[in-house]
Chains A and B, each alone.
Chain A
Amino acid sequence: MSVLVYTESENGKFKKNAHETSSYAYEVAKQLGVSVSAISFNADNNDELGTYGVSKVLNVSDETLKTYNAKAFARAIAQAAEKEGASVIILSSSTNSKYLAPLLSGMLKAGYAPNVVAAPESTSTFTVKRTAFSNKGFAHTQITTATKIIGVSNNAFGVIENKVEVVIEDFSPSVTDTDFSAKSTNIDKVSGKVTIADADIVVSGGRGLKGPENWGMIEELADVLGAATACSKPVSDLGWRPHSEHVGQTGKPVASNLYIAIGISGAIQHLAGISASKVKVVINTDPEAPFFKAADYGIVGDAFEVVPELIEKLKEFKAQNA
């Protein structure tokens, strides 16, 4: 028996969410009195996972699985789960995990609870707390099948060190051509930029910024903070920013530690998508903007004056705290 975690990597390096999902897996394993096995694909530094409580890594080094493929990865994870006798499988909330999770659920006839924000409340009834209704509520969800799949929400559980001995094993799943029947032909991704999904801090701009030509200061602020940039829906609809930056109920969800909203009114659909973020800051000229009701810190002021000053002061702060 074990708990299996799918540890995501990119170009051989584990993503931050791999540390968080491993930490989560360790907590579940502890509750069940078992140990954690991980499955990694073409990762270079599998030892690293021992720091977060993984006792065994099934390392897949396979050229055909260099590029992520949802079905082939799901197939491999299903086989790893079987091999390890895993009753619980832990995934992240990345786009890739959310792509393969339902495939895995269908393949294994295993119940899947997404967007889980805390360790299981009970392992006898197997109940987890997760966000629902676009962050306007929480559901306590019992998974009733023998095998259970949990999608851990970003930044909800945190990265927790639990150093254990780690054994690394080669694992060769049997995937066939039909598993690759949806083939990646092109990936269009700005490299070296923090993504909304991975970011600790997100700097987001709304229609209050008047036009795309004013995004220089948003990018600069994001740069200083090592943050990802995001925007409200109208901003992407108007083509000021790419669609991939649209956050909210109908866009990308944000669960960062810090979310800075600049010139965003705080419409219910916007707030629904970003409310899982821990600390929220709003900068808006209108003291009546609904965002002030949802934020932790607010400045009533003109973004064109406040943001450049904030950038300067943050640079000083960073220089002093470096």
Chain B
Amino acid sequence: MKILVCISNVPDTTSKINFTDGDTKFDANGVQFVINPNDEFGLTRAMWFKEKQGATVHVATVGEASTEPTIRKALAIGADEAIRINAIPTDGFFVAQHLAEVVKNGSYDIVIAGRESIDYNGGMVPGIMAAMLDFNFVNSCISLEVDGNNATAIREIDGGKETLSTSLPLIIGGQKGLVQESDLKIPNMRGIMMARQKKLNVIEPIDASPATLDTKFEKPAPKGAVKLIDSSNIDELIDLLHNEAKAI
């Protein structure tokens, strides 16, 4: 079983978001980059397949050299090899084309990506890849079991969950739930040392074009001050919610 985990390199969840170049670019200044949280769950699940079912696990990212610390971290967590496609990830459509090419050339059985990246919130890379490769696809995946060529996945639906029976080759858009929060792998010293010996293949981009273009960014308008209501005056809250906010 050969697994590819797609890793997107995103600002840490506590980052303050700013834009630069006349609000046309995300300002990476002073921002700490991490493995996209949804991918962290997927990577840990892939490690489980490695330990329990002898899977080979590769990780791939589309990004410039500045993303290497993030993929090194994935190697330190236990991935066997890493691939970096040396291109600026302009949009999900562009990224999906590159990753699909890697999947084709590497004959992977399972591709684990995340439900969405927390930076541009596209939520599209795994699904577009699935359509391009004609792989089975489960999105918002919170559980994955594989038995030979068959797979059972659970996905989150609005108000509950759905179990799906499917087969390999398979792509998932994973998220929290794939593994227990407490089982999330973090790199230890030995892992970090071993990661230095592991292969990090840099490959050049193919001829691909994006389908969207972010022309400008803006920050939400600053919020007005909160209206405080005395706890002995609940009627006032109800009145405000009804007459002022028109929310009830």
Contacts and interface: CB of A to CB of B under 8 A. Distances in A.
Interface of A: 70-71, 74, 94-96, 98-107, 109-115, 127, 131-145, 181-190, 193, 195-198, 201, 225, 237, 243-244, 246, 249-251, 257-258, 268-269, 272, 275, 278-279, 281-282, 292-302, 305-306, 309-310, 313-314, 317, 321
B124 to A, nearest CB: 4
Contacts of B235: 313
Q: Which 8 A-B pairs have the closest CB atoms?
A: A106-B131, A102-B127, A111-B211, A189-B160, A301-B231, A195-B159, A182-B166, A197-B158
Contact of A133 (B121, B129, B167, B230): B121
A107 B216 contact: no
A109 B97 CA distance: 11
B13 A181 contact: no
B176 A244 contact: no
A195 B156 CA distance: 12
Given A98-B140, A135-B220, A295-B226, A269 B13 contact: yes
A132 B140 contact: no
Given A105-B128, A298-B226, A300-B228, A134 B118 contact: yes
Interface string B207-226: 00011111111111001101
Interface stretch (B42-50, B58-66, B103-111, B236-244): B236-244
B35 interface: no
Nearest to A248: B13
A58 B214 CA distance: 33
B17 A137 contact: yes
Contact of A102 (B128, B136, B220, B238): B128
Contact of A250 (B11, B13, B120, B152): B13
Interface of B: 11, 13-14, 16-17, 19, 26, 37-38, 91-93, 96, 118-132, 136-140, 142, 152-153, 155-167, 175-177, 181, 210-220, 223-224, 226-231, 234-235, 237-238, 240-242, 245, 247-248
B227 A306 contact: no
A143 B93 CA distance: 11
B214 A140 contact: yes
For B16, B231, B235, the residue with the greatest tally of chain A CB atoms inside 10 Å of its CB is: B231
Contact of B121 (A132, A237, A269): A132
B160 A296 contact: no
Contacts of B215: 127, 140-142
A136 B122 contact: no
A134 B121 contact: yes
Given A113-B212, A181-B167, A313-B238, A279 B122 contact: no
A141 B212 contact: yes
Given A96-B157, A296-B245, A140 B127 contact: no
A114 to B, nearest CB: 6
A263 to B, nearest CB: 14
B96 A106 contact: yes
15 contacts: A102-B96, A103-B127, A105-B211, A106-B132, A111-B212, A137-B17, A187-B160, A195-B158, A250-B176, A281-B241, A282-B226, A293-B223, A297-B227, A297-B228, A309-B234
A133 B214 CA distance: 13
A317 B138 contact: no
A116 to B, nearest CB: 11
A134 to B, nearest CB: 5
B103 to A, nearest CB: 13
B245 A139 contact: no
Contacts of A313: 234-235, 238
Given A102-B126, A140-B214, 8 more contacts: A99-B127, A102-B139, A111-B212, A136-B220, A201-B247, A249-B118, A296-B226, A297-B240
B217 A137 contact: yes
A134 B123 CA distance: 12
Given A279-B247, A301-B231, A138 B217 contact: yes
Given A105-B131, A279-B245, A298-B228, A110 B162 contact: no
A109 B248 contact: no
A145 B97 CA distance: 15
B93 to A, nearest CB: 6
A139 B159 CA distance: 29
Nearest to A143: B212
Contacts of A269: 13-14
A103 B176 contact: no
B159 A185 contact: no
B163 A186 contact: yes
A139 B37 CA distance: 21
Given A114-B122, A251-B176, A257-B247, A139 B136 contact: no
B131 A310 contact: no
A308 to B, nearest CB: 10
Nearest to A178: B134
Contacts of A143: 211-212
A103 B131 contact: yes
A101 B220 contact: no
Contacts of B93: 105, 111-112
Given A201-B247, A250-B176, A299 B229 contact: yes
Given A105-B128, A140-B214, A133 B17 contact: yes
